């Protein structure tokens, strides 16, 4: 069913599902997620809030809350992480996979100095001395364009600005030189100028160290600036996955087309209204047997009561990506479905 | 996520009741409390014994089914069942009246401070701060000694000291509500202050006030019991649960039931009320399913 | 820091003044005086006694005189315990209260904290529900009910520990009173710690700590413990105050010669200076308790700054 990895992927996810207890039985927050992350690649994941993006990242790190059940498989360099022992997971966290959290203020411990929080992981994982860890933290902060890093390290989170806190979180994730950096909406809470700064910092980081990234956001515009490949999520599933350039040029899923269509563009006349996708995403926990996007989809059809499987978007060029939609007409047709 | 809130807003009272009764322990607490109230009302009325007249032939009868003296009798041969039920009456009455007093004072004080703000707020809340440092149990003890042991005095004394918490909470809530945009919007539309307080402030603080009132009742009952235990509450021969515990404590070597029965009833009433307060808070909290 | 200390000290003074005035007014504006009940006294002797304690002066002069003495640290002579000053009574009784209260708070913190953390580590399990049910009962049973029950069980039936007959400096005599005083607070602290720990463990920064690959112990000790303690600290202020007043009852039950017993005796006998002195003592201790709580807050939480 799922395509086998062509060569050894750094991180390989198969059939990942996240289930949490609800009032009437288990509710799936995520279902049938297949992903591959190649070394040095940046994979973007995009979707509306509540579609399970954050759950996905937490599940990859084994950070889901206690009452949640996971299914499927998450392999890092062939080693299974799902259901691995706490000791094993602790070795992977921070050192192999590092996560940059969404809300920088609440993700930092308000009671501890920046230095303590940045160095404790590296000291525990790599056995660095206090001085060496401190030195590394200062260097990292400096490389993320934070001025006077020595002073920042002595401060508490509430004494930093929002952009600075976000960069501290990124630096913190880089302390153990991880192989994969997971970024959960790292730019969402920031001003546009700071957003651009952080993106520049991340791009520069990729160029320098070649760290692989999974970049989660709800903003396709941000992904255009950094991602090699983009996966679109809707209601806990991946509905389309393709190389970034390809996905932006010829979306294969009506939802992706809608997202692209609702982005403000420089070449549209100023007096046209920004278009939106009408309707609401299904509430998490709503169960439907068919395509979850069908209620909002202009192309909805009888066949959409059947769940569409992820298939090659273009049979002639299988590498161009996959899509989960019954529509198999010309891709150009999707351009016109949104008003 | 938003569904339970929406339902709660549509039919607030019924929804609250449903959530409250969802747990078995809450239903048990309600039932127990109801039975105690019923017994406190009915038993002294129906029983052939009364709480004050001594019966020298029945001194220290252990609990027995004979003659319906299921709780036994005390050092003066008085029926413990009737005395305990009188004690429950007093405790519940004190709890209720004093809580109402403290809620009224607390809400008015806190809402005024929070709504008017500025200097009035500073003055009112500073006085609450000062009153927090006043050792109140000793002060009420002194009050009781000075003015003789009127039950009314116990009511007022306790009610007047337990409003501080409520005042603080209500002020905080009022401040939070007044900073919301819909209040600004209403003000911009020319809604006047009294209407504003009635329509926007009071309904929004009612939930938390009810919770705290429910938790004030047991605290007040314990306070009254403490005073009566020290011999400063109700006048003999009338009994309250506190004075019954004190009487029982002096006889516990030979007749432990005199201590144990009133202790259990006191603990039971307070336990049920505490549990109800907790359950109410949970039911009003939109985070809990 | 020094400025903060000074400010707090200065703001405590008006509070104490309010307490003193309130107590003074209550005592003096109600009918009756300390020596009224002694009918055996000849009128002349009564007048002489009243003159000796300045009770014949107008109330406002008595008030000013009292404040003046107070400013010099003198709480005046006791009316009922002849030839004993209130200062002496406090010096005698307070150590006992502090010993019982200190033991009770210490016990409540250690045991209640441990129970609360244990319950929070497995929410919904038996380890959570059983102790929390007990804690619910615990906060509903006042110490004046627990105290006689403890005496009944441990002193009268099992004969393990003494119930009364105070002997100075004996820890065996302090055990039951401290325990009776401690149990309700233990239950309360267990509930607070459990709720707070559950709240904190759901915080985002705990997840960050786990994402760094820290072990459970490190996460708990370094990241979860401090925020868990914060609500406990703010509870401790009022708790310290109510432990003090709670010891009034405990002393009564166990026959301990602490200040609480003198207080009840003083109140019943209209011993003006004794009641006022002890009320001020309680007030001062409450103020000190709140002050310590504020210091703890500032020490634990870097966001709280003392120099406001």
**Token couple for C197:** 């720990």
Give the distance from residue C41's alpha carbon to the nearest chain B alpha carbon, in angstroms. 22
In C221-265 the beta strands, taken as DSSP E runs, fall at none
Name which of B142, B232, B251, B277 to mutate to probe chain C: the one with the most chain C Cβ atoms within 10 A of its Cβ: B142
Name which of A68, A98, A121 to mutate to probe chain C: the one with the most chain C Cβ atoms within 10 A of its Cβ: A121
List of residues 6+ apart from B180 with CB closer than 8 A: none
In a domain, B289, yes or no: no
Residue C28 CA: distances (Å) to CA of A236, B242, C62, C157, C276 = 75, 30, 10, 47, 11
Same domain, yes or no: A154 and A296: no
* Contact flag B142-C27 (C-beta cutoff 8 Å): yes
- Compare CB distances from C223 to A90, A94, A109 and report the shortest one's residue: A109
Q: What local confidence, expressed as pLDDT, does residue C106 receive?
A: 92
* Contact flag B3-A23 (C-beta cutoff 8 Å): no
Interface A-C: count of C-beta contacts within 8 A: 79
Tell me which chain B residues have a C-beta less than 8 angstroms from the C-beta of C14: 130
> What is residue C108's DSSP assignment?
I
Q: Among B27, B31, B2, B15, which residue's Cα sits nearest to residue B284? A: B15
Q: Report how far residue A78's alpha carbon sits from residue A7's, in angstroms, rounded to the nearest whole number.
A: 11
Q: What local confidence, expressed as pLDDT, does residue B286 receive?
A: 54
Same domain, yes or no: A198 and A271: no
Most confidently modeled range among B248-252, C105-109, C161-165, C172-176: C105-109
- Indicate the length of chain A as a whole number: 339
Give the distance from residue A23's alpha carbon to the nearest chain B alpha carbon, in angstroms. 8
Full domain range(s) for residue A286: 254-339
Q: Report how far residue A16's alpha carbon sits from residue A55's, in angstroms, rounded to the nearest whole number.
A: 11
Q: Report how far residue B158's alpha carbon sits from residue B144's, in angstroms, rounded to the nearest whole number.
A: 11
Q: Measure the N-to-C terminal CA separation of chain C; round to a whole number of Å.
A: 10
**Chain B contact present for A283, CB below 8 A:** yes
SS3 B245: helix
In a domain, A163, yes or no: yes
Most confidently modeled range among A114-123, C64-73, C298-307: A114-123
In a domain, A279, yes or no: yes
Tell me which chain C residues have a C-beta less than 8 angstroms from the C-beta of B133: 12, 15, 19, 283, 286-287, 290
Name which of B87, B128, B129, B135 to mutate to probe chain C: the one with the most chain C Cβ atoms within 10 A of its Cβ: B135
Q: Are A31 and A37 within 8 A, CB to CB?
A: no
The full 3-state SS of C186-202, as one line of letters, equals HHHHHHHHHHHHHHHHC
* Domains contained in chain B, number: 1
Query: Minimal Cα distance from A286: which residue of B?
Result: B1
Instruction: State the angle between helix axes of C2-29 and C59-71 in degrees (0 to 180), rounded to the nearest 10.
Output: 150
- Of A227, A244, A269, the position where a domain reaches its end is A227
Q: Are A302 and A336 within 8 A, CB to CB?
A: no
Same domain, yes or no: A260 and A207: no
Q: Among B175, B161, B159, B201, which residue's Cα sits nearest to residue B121? A: B175
Same domain, yes or no: A207 and A262: no
Tell me which of C172 and A151 has the higher pLDDT.
A151
Q: Are A98 and A140 within 8 A, CB to CB?
A: no
Residue with tokens 């100075």: C168
Tell me which chain C residues have a C-beta less than 8 angstroms from the C-beta of A58: 207
In a domain, A234, yes or no: no
Measured CB to CB, residues of chain B less than 8 Å from chain C are 129-130, 132-139, 141-143, 145-147, 218, 222, 225-226, 229-230, 242, 245-246, 248-249, 252-253, 256, 259-260, 263, 266-267, 270-271, 274-275, 278
Confidence of residue A43 (pLDDT cuts 50, 70, 90): very high
Same domain, yes or no: A339 and A199: no
* Contact flag A112-C227 (C-beta cutoff 8 Å): no
In a domain, B288, yes or no: no
Contact map slice: A 300-329 vs C, CB within 8 A: none
Q: What is the dihedral of CA A121, A122, A127, A131, to 10 degrees?
A: -120
Q: What local confidence, expressed as pLDDT, does residue C136 receive?
A: 87
In a domain, B277, yes or no: yes
> What is residue C122's DSSP assignment?
S
Same domain, yes or no: A312 and A271: yes
Residue with tokens 């401190």: A134
Tell me which of C154 and A135 has the higher pLDDT.
A135
**Token couple for B229:** 């235990």
In a domain, A92, yes or no: yes
Tell me which chain C residues have a C-beta less than 8 angstroms from the C-beta of B138: 245, 248, 263, 267, 278-279, 282
Chains meeting A at 3+ CB pairs closer than 8 A?
B, C
- Identify the CATH number of the domain in which residue B38 sits: 1.10.3720.10
- Compare CB distances from B253 to C156, C270, C287 and report the shortest one's residue: C156
Q: What is the rounded average pLDDT for all residues in chain A?
A: 83
- Compare CB distances from C253 to B143, B249, B271 and report the shortest one's residue: B249
Most confidently modeled range among A244-248, A261-265, B151-155, C297-301: A244-248
Q: Report how far residue A177's alpha carbon sits from residue A172's, in angstroms, rounded to the nearest whole number.
A: 10
**Token couple for B204:** 């929004």
Same domain, yes or no: A287 and A215: no
Query: Minimal Cα distance from A67: which residue of C?
Result: C123
Q: Report how far residue B241's alpha carbon sits from residue B222's, in angstroms, rounded to the nearest whole number.
A: 9
List of residues 6+ apart from A238 with CB closer than 8 A: A32, A33, A34, A35, A231, A232, A310, A324
- Compare CB distances from B271 to C140, C267, C282 and report the shortest one's residue: C140
* Contact flag B3-A283 (C-beta cutoff 8 Å): yes
* Contact flag C214-A86 (C-beta cutoff 8 Å): no
Q: Among B237, B238, B234, B244, which residue's Cα sits nearest to residue B266? A: B244
Q: What local confidence, expressed as pLDDT, does residue A231 receive?
A: 92
Average pLDDT of the residues in A134-155: 89
Q: What structural domains does chain C harbor?
A: 91-269 (1.10.3720.10)
DSSP per residue, B68-128: G-TT-B-TT--BHHHHHHHHHHHHHHHHHHHHHHHHHHHHHHHHHHHHH-HHHHHHHHHHH
Full domain range(s) for residue B210: 3-283
Confidence of residue A212 (pLDDT cuts 50, 70, 90): very high
Question: With a cut of 0.90, is the ipTM above it?
Answer: no
Tell me which chain C residues have a C-beta less than 8 angstroms from the C-beta of A65: 202
Contact map slice: A 21-60 vs B, CB within 8 A: 23
* Domains contained in chain A, number: 2
Q: What local confidence, expressed as pLDDT, does residue A274 receive?
A: 66
Give the distance from residue C142's alpha carbon to the nearest chain B alpha carbon, in angstroms. 7
* Contact flag A23-B1 (C-beta cutoff 8 Å): no
Query: Quick one: what percent of chain A has pLDDT higher than 90?
Result: 15
Average pLDDT of the residues in A322-330: 79
User: At residue A230, what are phi and psi to the nearest 5 degrees?
Assistant: -130, 135
Give the distance from residue B268's alpha carbon to the nearest chain C alpha carbon, in angstroms. 8
Same domain, yes or no: A258 and A221: no
**Is the pTM above the cut of 0.90?**
no
Tell me which chain A residues have a C-beta less than 8 angstroms from the C-beta of B1: 283
Within its chain, how far is the Cα of B222 from the centroid?
Answer: 9
Residue with tokens 């008003």: A339
Q: Measure the N-to-C terminal CA separation of chain A; round to a whole number of Å.
A: 35
- Of A210, A227, A244, the position where a domain reaches its end is A227
Most confidently modeled range among A271-275, A278-282, C273-277: C273-277
Chains meeting B at 3+ CB pairs closer than 8 A?
A, C
- Compare CB distances from B229 to C30, C156, C249 and report the shortest one's residue: C249
Tell me which chain C residues have a C-beta less than 8 angstroms from the C-beta of B145: 267-268, 270
Confidence of residue A154 (pLDDT cuts 50, 70, 90): very high
Contact map slice: C 190-209 vs A, CB within 8 A: 202-205, 207-209
Q: What local confidence, expressed as pLDDT, does residue B7 receive?
A: 41
Q: Are B20 and B26 within 8 A, CB to CB?
A: yes
Most confidently modeled range among A20-29, B22-31, B152-161: B22-31
Q: What local confidence, expressed as pLDDT, does residue B6 receive?
A: 41
Same domain, yes or no: A222 and A94: yes
Confidence of residue C33 (pLDDT cuts 50, 70, 90): low
* Contact flag C211-A120 (C-beta cutoff 8 Å): no
Tell me which chain A residues have a C-beta less than 8 angstroms from the C-beta of C199: none
Q: Among C138, C290, C233, which residue's Cα sits nearest to residue B222? A: C138
**Sequence-ordered alpha helix ranges (H) in B133-191:** 136-147, 151-161, 164-178, 181-188
Q: Which helix (H) or strand (E) holds A22?
A: strand A11-22
Query: Minimal Cα distance from C123: which residue of A?
Result: A66
**Tens-place pLDDT, residues C259-279:** 888 888 887 777 878 888 888
**Chain A contact present for C210, CB below 8 A:** yes
Contact map slice: C 93-152 vs B, CB within 8 A: 136-137, 139-142, 144-145, 147-149, 151-152
Q: Report how far residue C295's alpha carbon sits from residue C234's, in angstroms, rounded to the nearest whole number.
A: 11
Average pLDDT of the residues in C274-292: 84
Same domain, yes or no: A286 and A183: no
């Amino acid at each position: 069913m799922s395509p086998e990895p062509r060569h050894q992927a750094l991180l390989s996810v198969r059939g990942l599902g996240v289930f949490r207890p609800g009032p009437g039985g288990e509710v799936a927050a995520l279902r049938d997620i297949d992903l591959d992350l190649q070394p040095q690649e940046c994979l973007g994941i995009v979707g509306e809030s509540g579609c399970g993006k954050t759950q996905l990242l937490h599940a990859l790190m084994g950070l889901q809350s206690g009452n949640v059940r996971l299914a499927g498989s998450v392999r890092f360099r062939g080693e299974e992480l799902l259901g691995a022992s706490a000791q094993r997971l602790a070795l992977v966290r921070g050192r192999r996979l590092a996560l940059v959290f969404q809300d920088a203020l609440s993700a930092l411990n308000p009671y501890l100095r920046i230095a303590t929080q940045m160095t404790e992981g590296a000291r525990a994982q790599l056995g660095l001395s206090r001085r060496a860890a401190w030195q590394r933290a200062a260097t990292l902060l400096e490389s993320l364009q934070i001025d006077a890093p020595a002073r920042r390290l002595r401060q508490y989170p509430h004494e930093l600005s929002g952009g600075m806190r976000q960069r501290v979180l990124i630096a913190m994730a880089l302390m153990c030189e991880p192989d994969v950096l997971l970024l959960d909406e790292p730019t969402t809470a920031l001003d546009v100028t700071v957003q651009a700064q952080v993106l520049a910092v991340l791009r520069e980081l990729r160029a320098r160290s070649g760290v692989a990234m999974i970049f989660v956001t709800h903003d396709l515009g941000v992904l255009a600036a950094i991602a090699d490949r983009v996966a679109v999520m809707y209601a806990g599933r991946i509905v389309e996955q393709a190389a970034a350039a390809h996905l932006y040029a010829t979306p294969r899923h009506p939802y992706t087309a809608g997202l692209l269509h609702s982005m403000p563009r420089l070449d549209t006349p100023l007096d046209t209204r920004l278009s939106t996708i009408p309707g609401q995403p299904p509430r998490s926990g709503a169960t439907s047997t068919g395509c979850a996007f069908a209620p909002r989809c202009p192309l909805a059809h009888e066949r959409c009561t059947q769940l569409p499987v992820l298939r090659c978007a273009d049979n002639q060029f299988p590498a161009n990506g996959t899509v989960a939609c019954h529509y198999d007409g010309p891709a150009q047709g999707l351009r016109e479905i949104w008003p | 996520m938003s569904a339970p809130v929406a339902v709660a807003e549509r039919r607030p009272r019924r929804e609250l009741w449903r959530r409250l009764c969802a747990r078995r322990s809450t239903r048990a607490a309600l039932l127990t409390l109801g039975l105690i109230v019923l017994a406190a009302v009915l038993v002294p009325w129906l029983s052939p014994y009364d709480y004050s007249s001594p019966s020298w032939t029945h001194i220290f009868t252990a609990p027995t089914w004979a003659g319906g003296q299921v709780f036994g009798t005390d050092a003066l041969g008085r029926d413990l069942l009737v005395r305990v039920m009188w004690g429950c009456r007093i405790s519940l009455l004190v709890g209720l009246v004093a809580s109402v007093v403290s809620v009224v004072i607390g809400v008015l004080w806190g809402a005024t401070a929070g709504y008017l703000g500025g200097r009035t707020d500073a003055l009112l809340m500073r006085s609450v701060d000062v009153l927090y440092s006043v050792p109140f149990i000793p002060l009420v003890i002194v009050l009781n000694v000075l003015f003789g042991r009127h039950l009314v005095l116990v009511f007022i004394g306790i009610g007047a000291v337990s409003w501080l918490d409520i005042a603080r909470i209500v002020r905080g809530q009022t401040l939070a509500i007044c900073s919301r945009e819909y209040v600004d919007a209403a003000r911009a539309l020319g809604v006047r202050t009294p209407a504003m307080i009635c329509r926007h402030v009071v309904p929004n603080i009612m939930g938390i006030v009810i919770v705290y009132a429910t938790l004030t009742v047991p605290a007040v009952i314990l306070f009254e019991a403490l005073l009566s235990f020290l011999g400063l509450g109700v006048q003999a021969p009338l009994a309250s649960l506190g004075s019954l515990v004190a009487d029982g404590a002096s006889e516990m070597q030979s007749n432990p039931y005199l201590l144990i029965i009133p202790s259990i009833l006191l603990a039971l009433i307070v336990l049920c009320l505490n549990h109800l307060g907790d359950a109410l808070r949970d039911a009003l909290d939109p985070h809990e399913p | 820091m020094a400025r903060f200390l000074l400010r707090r000290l200065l703001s405590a003074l008006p509070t104490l003044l309010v307490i003193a005035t309130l107590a003074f007014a209550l005592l003096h504006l109600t009918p009756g005086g300390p020596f009224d009940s002694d009918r055996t006294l000849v009128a002349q002797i009564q007048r002489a006694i009243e003159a000796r304690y300045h009770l014949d002066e107008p109330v406002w002069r008595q008030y000013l005189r009292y404040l003046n003495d107070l400013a010099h640290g003198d709480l005046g002579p006791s009316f009922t315990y002849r030839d004993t000053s209130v200062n002496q009574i406090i010096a005698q009784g307070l150590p006992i209260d502090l010993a019982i209260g200190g033991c009770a708070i210490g016990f409540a913190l250690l045991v209640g904290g441990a129970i609360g953390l244990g319950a929070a580590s497995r929410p919904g399990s038996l380890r959570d529900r059983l102790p929390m049910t007990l804690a619910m009962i615990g906060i509903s049973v006042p110490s004046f009910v627990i105290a006689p029950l403890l005496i009944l069980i441990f002193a009268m039936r099992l004969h393990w520990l003494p119930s009364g007959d105070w002997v100075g400096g004996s820890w065996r005599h302090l055990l039951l009173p401290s325990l009776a005083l401690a149990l309700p607070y233990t239950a309360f602290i267990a509930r607070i710690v459990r709720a707070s720990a559950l709240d904190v463990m759901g915080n985002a920064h705990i997840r960050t700590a786990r994402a760094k690959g820290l072990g459970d112990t490190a996460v708990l000790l370094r990241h979860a413990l401090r925020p868990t303690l914060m609500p406990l600290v703010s509870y401790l202020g009022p708790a310290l105050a109510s432990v003090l007043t709670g010891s009034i009852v405990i002393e009564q039950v166990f026959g301990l010669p602490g200040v609480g017993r003198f207080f009840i005796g003083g109140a019943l006998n209209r011993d003006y200076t004794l009641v006022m002195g002890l009320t001020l003592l309680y007030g001062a201790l409450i103020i000190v308790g709140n002050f310590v709580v504020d210091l703890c807050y500032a020490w634990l939480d870097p966001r709280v700054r003392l120099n406001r």
